[in-house]
Amino acid sequence: MKESGCKSYEDLPLFLNAATVANVLGVSPSSGYELMHEPGFPVLKIGSRMVVPKEQFIRWVEEHTGGGT
């Protein structure tokens, strides 16, 4: 598993793309992209672009890890 490139939630932009999601979670870019297609993952579609609102991402991480970072 790759090491996360993010040290705190404050470092995150308001909206995350697949590369940022992957970087924060310490997974490959393709895994981040696949995760964004999973049912229940908090994705916002803007045209053909997919982004994840920061606050919803933090909530998702906390719900799936028991606390997050």
Quote the percentage of the chain above a pLDDT of 70.
88
Over residues 38-63, the pLDDT tens digits come to 999 999 999 999 999 999 999 999 99
Over residues 13-29, the pLDDT tens digits come to 999 999 999 999 999 99
> What pLDDT is recorded for position 34?
96
Residue 42 has a CB neighbour count (10 Å cut-off) of 16
> What pLDDT is recorded for position 23?
92
Q: Are the C-beta atoms of 21 and 35 separated by less than 8 Å?
A: yes
